Structure 1
Amino acid sequence: MGFSMRLEKLWGNPVTAPCTRLAVQMGKDKAATMLLLRFIRPTCMGRTREIFPSVQVLGFVRHSNLVPLWALYVGPRGEKLLVHPFFLHGSLYHFLKDGESKFYKWDTIHKLSVGIAKGIDHLHNALAGPIIHGNLKSKNILLDVDLVPHLSDYGLHLLLSSTAAQEMLDVSASEGYKASELIKTKDVCRETDIYSLGIIFLEMLTRKEPTATNLSSSWELHLPTSVRNLALQRKLPDIFSPELLSRGKNQRFSNNAEQQLLSYFQLAMSCCSPSPSLRPEIKQVLRILDEIS
């Protein structure tokens, strides 16, 4: 059986990062199976017997909006591979950055939002004990051919060493997804997941990245701050991506559609509240999304 590989960066430098993703195609015909292998350096993960209980918990998680963990391979030198299914349509990040405008419309954004929220709800509420995602961002949401979202990387912090887990959190902070109260990875909780979810909602609404890393003042260019300032200046149309406001020639943007976008914006901002106690629970997020539709 032949196979081909594609290496992509998960975070940090591909050589020194604690994890890298490796897409492997087993076979060369149309029936070939695509796997997503996550290589983790020996120094970045605990000993097998220490992490095995968490691997078992994560391995039993199954939901239509979550990327399942199929297997764990442990090599002779302590290297480890996490085996997942591969999704050919890429990540939500690349869909928002490079996707065709004809696919970027309100119905798609709403569908994606509901799917992401359902995945989080399953992790938080449907298992024997809650699993906190801990690294929720658009790069870790994979899309299938029908644009159904599948959350990856959930619970990965449970398997990493404290140093590697903190590096993962630092990257999340630099990319704008980390709640301000979150200092150590061990402190991740439902509320910090909800904050990251709100950032993703704003990302989908604006098609802008959470931070503008090429400029010096990241606070002023942090997405929640930017859209809040526009709202205070009564410039709400400037918040939404132009594609969401476009309805073609001679078609007006209806009051109902405008209200849907406004309600979605308000939901996203409530998820991004600086106060954890003011952020909605995931079931409330789902209820509001249902009302918006």
Structure 2
Amino acid sequence: MNSKPNAEISSLPNAKLYSYKELQIATENFNLANKIGAGGFGSVYKGKLNDGTLAAIKVLSAQSEQGVREFLNEIVAISGLEHANLVKLYGCCTEGEQRILVYGYLENNSLAQTLLRRHSNLKFSWKIRTRICIGVAQGLAFLHDEVEPHIVHRDIKASNILLDKDFTPKISDFGLAKLFPATMTHVSTRVAGTFGYLAPEYAIRGKLTRKADIYSFGVLLLEIVSGRCNTNKRLPVDEQNLLETAWALYEKGMLIQLVDKALEGDFNADEACRYLKIGLLCTQDMPKNRPTMSIAAKMLKGEVDVDEVNISKPGLLTELLTLRSSGNAPPSSSAGWGTQQDKSSSSQSSNMTYATMSFTSIYDRSN
């Protein structure tokens, strides 16, 4: 790693620099027994720091400049931020070619691993689910409205919501986050994120606003209540897309059928239907019709009446699918979905590119 990243990190008063030796000791030389996660970014290890604090130590692969950029972006975005529903970044290591992030350790993994994939024996009661939904909403409202400059996360999804021992949700992975000064309404940028959670106006035109995060949150909300991924190709064709299924049931007045069967009826039916309606409100096709995160949080807590608000059809990426099938989609990038180089512009959305990855492959990532 060159000296520029080190200089940028050193200029941040809340970013502690760890030595590689410290983190080697903390993880028992990155012992596989301490490995708690892995992905395209690299590996995550559980470790114990010098002061006895447990930490999640994320070792990023050093394959491209994109990795350096996201690494720096994450540190700049959340260094010094304090909120009950955001991961705590302790610091990092930039020794030699190393790119390592050190976070607070969270005992109950991610929603993707536990609730949606059922890779644990954790029981998600209705009370726990409501706490998770409200917590994520409050964390996003903090990023959107209380932080200056405002922060748009760009990759809200189940795998980026981590849970502590008390099931308090923590928003994680700020590598794709964008900082929005109060005077800026939107940026036009290349697409980054995860298919299934992407707002159509962002995926198709590259127009990024806080409403893109709100769309992603709406999808996540439906997942938490239903206990299923936003796309599941193992289901019958007409049930594979969670948003489409939710809308069809809403139109029939049968939303209750979408609630996770694993709850075995032990939930508040009115509250569950309200949460599903909020999910649909957040995923409406027109961004201006989606509530702000602050309002969504109040709706979840019952402080704002959802039934007084008209809900329109959710935005789906059917337009993009049609464009691709007709050969009229914008040119593809060789970088792959969610890894394109991000160059913001106030007006040039024509530079946006799309991944060469097939839609079938992208869907498979969500299952």
Shared fold (TM-score, shorter chain, > 0.5) = yes
User: 1:229 and 2:248 equivalent?
Assistant: yes
Could you report, residue by residue, the CA deviation over 1:167-222 in whole angstroms, capped at 9, with x for unpaired residues? 852xx11xx111111138974321010011011110011111001245796x9622
Aligned to 2:354: none
Contact 1:134–1:185 (CA under 8 A) maintained in structure 2: no
Deviations 1:42-78 (A, max 9, x none): 5143768x9868734421212111012222322423x
In the alignment, what sits opposite 1:9? Answer: 38
Alignment of 1:77-226 (within 5 A): 77=97, 79-97=98-116, 98=118, 99-100=120-121, 103-157=123-177, 168-169=192-193, 172-173=194-195, 176-183=196-203, 187-213=207-233, 221-226=240-245
Query: What CA distance in whole angstroms lies between the structure 2 residues aligned with 1:228 and 1:185?
Result: 24
**Do the aligned partners of 2:156 and 2:217 also contact (CA within 8 Å) in 1?**
yes
Distance in 2 between the 1:129 and 1:191 partners? 16
| Shift in CA distance, 225/24, structure 1 to aligned 2, threshold 3 Å | same
Describe the SS at the equivalent of 2:153.
coil
Give, in whole Å, the separation in 2 of the partners of 1:182 and 1:216: 28
Q: Does the residue aligned with 2:162 lie in a helix, a strand or coil?
A: strand
In structure 1, the residue matched to 2:281 is: 270
CA distance in 2, matches of 1:85, 1:24: 10
Q: Which amino acid aligns with 1:20?
A: G
Partner SS for 1:70: strand
Name the CA distance, whole Å, in 2 between partners of 1:289 and 1:107: 12
Gaps of 5+ in 1: 11-16, 160-164, 248-252
AA at the equivalent of 1:206: S
| CA–CA separation in structure 1 for the residues paired with 2:47 and 2:241 | 38
> Residue 292 of structure 2 corresponds to which residue in structure 1?
281
**3-state SS in 1 of match to 2:152:** coil
Distance 2:74 2:159 in 1: 23
State, as a whole percentage, how many aligned pairs show the same letter: 23
SS of 1:211's equivalent in the other structure is coil
1:231 CA drift (Å) = 2.5
1:292 is displaced (CA, Å) by 6.8
User: What SS class does the counterpart of residue 109 from structure 2 fall into?
Assistant: coil
SS in 1 for 2:150: coil
TM-score normalised per structure 1: 0.77
1 CA distance for matches of 2:61 and 2:103?
14
Report the CA distance shift for 1:216/1:199 in structure 2 as closer, same or farther (over 3 A): same
Query: Do structure 1's residue 25 and structure 2's residue 47 form an aligned pair?
Result: yes
- Tell me the secondary structure at the aligned position of residue 89 of structure 2: coil
The TM-score normalised by the length of structure 2 is 0.63
For the residues of structure 2 that align with 1:47 and 1:242, how far apart are their CA atoms? 43
CA apart distance, 1:89: 1.0
Q: 1:59, 1:115 → 2: CA distance? A: 20
Question: What is the CA–CA distance in structure 2 between the aligned matches of 1:108 and 1:53, rounded to whole Å?
Answer: 32
- Give deviations 1:87-125, integer Å, cap 9, x for gaps: 121111222132547x32221111111111111011111
- Report the count of equivalent residues: 264
- Distance change in 2, residues 1:24/1:167 (3 Å): farther
Letter in 2 for 1:222: N
> Aligned-residue CA RMSD in angstroms?
3.3
